[in-house]
Structure 1
Amino acid sequence: MAQFNNWCLSVDLQIGNHFRRVMTGQAASLPDGVEATAAIVPEHYASEEQVARALVRLGKPAAAALIEGKLPTTKAIRSGDLGEIYATEWIDAHSGGYHSPIKRLRWKDHRNMAMRGDDVIGILLDPQTQRLHFLKTEAKSRVALTARVLTEARAGLDKDGGLPSAHALSFMSARLLELDHLPLADAIDDALLKHGIPPQNVRHLLFTFSGNAPDALLAASLQAYAGPISQWGVGLHVEGHAAFIGAVYDRVIADANNA
């Protein structure tokens, strides 16, 4: 896990029916943030089984090369990927029961290309109805977050009537089948093809990772939303955003070579 609570100070605010959390990286604890993040980044690009098999068959240098070969080399793609990684980690640890069942970045077309479709989808199974609830997520990472970026994120969340896209759910179901997670794959197919997805079974998460404070921007975005779907806005604020991202990926490469 990204262990946000160990290196960030969190402040929550209720905005009407919506919720905002801002996590601010504490200067003295940012090295802890780099370490915690670097520990979980590789598993978002390659499964532990794939890395372990390369280690056993080919040795440590090849396993390290496998990891490094999957990492993006451009600053923009590293930034976007890390925003998605943080959103995924926040959902799994802090969303109150949703989880992201696949790590999408393992299926990138190319390490220096962004993924298409909904950034992240969290899933929660209602124990009473046995129906799925979805957390449709847009993740944005910027050195300087702006209202325009949040407008773009809102447009992404509002597509497909605010519901997770059929393409994204089909992609998720297919990957789960490959991983032999058959009950969850079937539940997604049932929601998509049999029962339908009512808006009351969907929540939106707007997740930002930025070098400037997102407090006012997230609040304004939540206040402006007039639709029927419950909204969460979560912002991770790290001073020295670009340097922090560089340090994370440098640490991932160093750890892979020293494992």
Structure 2
Amino acid sequence: MSIFRNWIHFQEEDVVGRTLHICTETLDGRIKITDDLRQVMRSHYNDLAQIADDIKYLGYPDASAVLAERLPQTSRARSGDLGEILATEYIEHALGYQIPIRRLRYKDGREMALRGDDFIGIDYNKSTGLKLLKGESKSAAKLSNDTVKKARAALNRDAGRCTPHSLLFVADRLMEGTAAQQILGRVLKTEIARRSLSPGSIDHVVFTMTGNSPLTLLRNDLTSADHTRKQISINLNIDDHQDFIAASYLNLEHLGNN
């Protein structure tokens, strides 16, 4: 399920050989994806099959109470979480990378930001080998140049490689999964140990969800970015940024009563 097909108008712009994705809402697009967006958001906080299991054994009110304990309450935490959720969904929709671990399920506290890379995308098969995507997500009603610089600095850390503890976290979670996931987990552990991927095999992505239009800032950032790897910047423009976030979380924990 991709919420973006019925929601956004997409434009791709070349910036000195780097790529800028410009995403704006279509007329009535938000209405069309309201229910799907709520399901997507819930799935990032808990597996939907586990939510269904909670409903089966606890009933709707208690299952809703359990989900509520996972959801952030402050506007700042909600903004950051929703930015990361939409970044993850967009990367899988538009760039072809798999982001197999939903990080928000593993937060130490619902108001706390997770450490490390905001998202890591994986593209792997035996014939072509491993490619990674290192990504930063920023959500702001008015994105500043300072915030863009912080995102770029985070991408450049560890010589532009995925930070080892972030990659190891993904690998460890994969090792807890299916046989296919365990194979991918071992591939990631090999990369952690050997650091063998070239810069050209590790793409960098900045995802921004903003109320303003920061395209000039993003173009300038792309122009000066590391030229040894693929660089992509994505802006999802939401004019009523703060109201959109508040509405998206409103009664999100309510799972029904029948």
Same fold (TM over 0.5): yes
Out of 146, 149, 154, the position equivalent to 1:148 is 146
Equivalents in 1 of 2:75, 2:22: separation in Å? 24
Calculate the TM-score normalised by the size of structure 1.
0.93
The separation in 2 between residues aligned to 1:54 and 1:74, in whole angstroms, is 25
Between 184-193 and 21-30, report the one with greater CA deviation: 21-30
Counterpart of 1:157 in structure 2 is 155
Deviation at 1:43, TM superposition (A): 0.7
How far apart are residue 49 of structure 1 and its match? 3.1
Q: Is the 8 A contact 2:61 2:257 kept in 1?
A: no
The one-letter code matched in structure 2 to 1:91 is I
Contact kept, 8 Å, 1:45 with 1:70, in 2: the verdict is yes
Classify the secondary structure of the residue corresponding to 2:69: helix
- SS of the aligned residue for 2:109 comes to coil
Count the aligned residue pairs.
256
Give structure 2 stretches of 5+ with no counterpart: none
1:92-131 mapped onto 2 (5 Å cutoff)? 92-95=92-95, 97-129=96-128, 131=129
Q: Give the Cα–Cα distance (whole angstroms) in 2 for the partners of residues 148 and 112 of structure 1.
A: 23
Counterpart residue identity of residue 118, structure 2: D
Secondary structure, in 3 states, of the residue corresponding to 1:92? helix
Between 1:116-125 and 1:43-52, the stretch displaced more is 43-52
2:78 & 2:116 partners in 1: Cα distance? 18
**Which whole-Å CA distance do the structure 1 matches of 2:191 and 2:216 have between them?**
36
CA distance in 2, matches of 1:253, 1:243: 18
Q: Give the distance between the partners of 2:26 and 2:248, measured in 1 at CA.
A: 16
For the 8 Å contact 1:169–1:192, the answer to whether it is kept is: yes
**TM-score, length basis structure 2:** 0.93
Q: For residue 67 of structure 2, what is the amino acid of its counterpart?
A: I
When structure 1 is superposed on structure 2, of 52-61 and 162-171 the one drifting more is 52-61
Q: Distance in 2 between matches of 1:122 and 1:199?
A: 15
Single out whichever of 34-43 and 78-87 deviates more from structure 2: 34-43
Moved more, 103-112 or 44-53: 44-53
Note the aligned Cα RMSD (angstroms): 1.6
Maintained 8 Å contact 1:35/1:248? no
Measure how far apart 1:257 and its partner are: 3.6
Report how far residue 148 of structure 1 moved. 1.0
Runs ≥4 residues deviating over 4 A: none
Per-residue deviation, 1:251:
4.8
| Equivalent-residue separation in structure 2 for 1:24 and 1:142 (angstroms) | 15
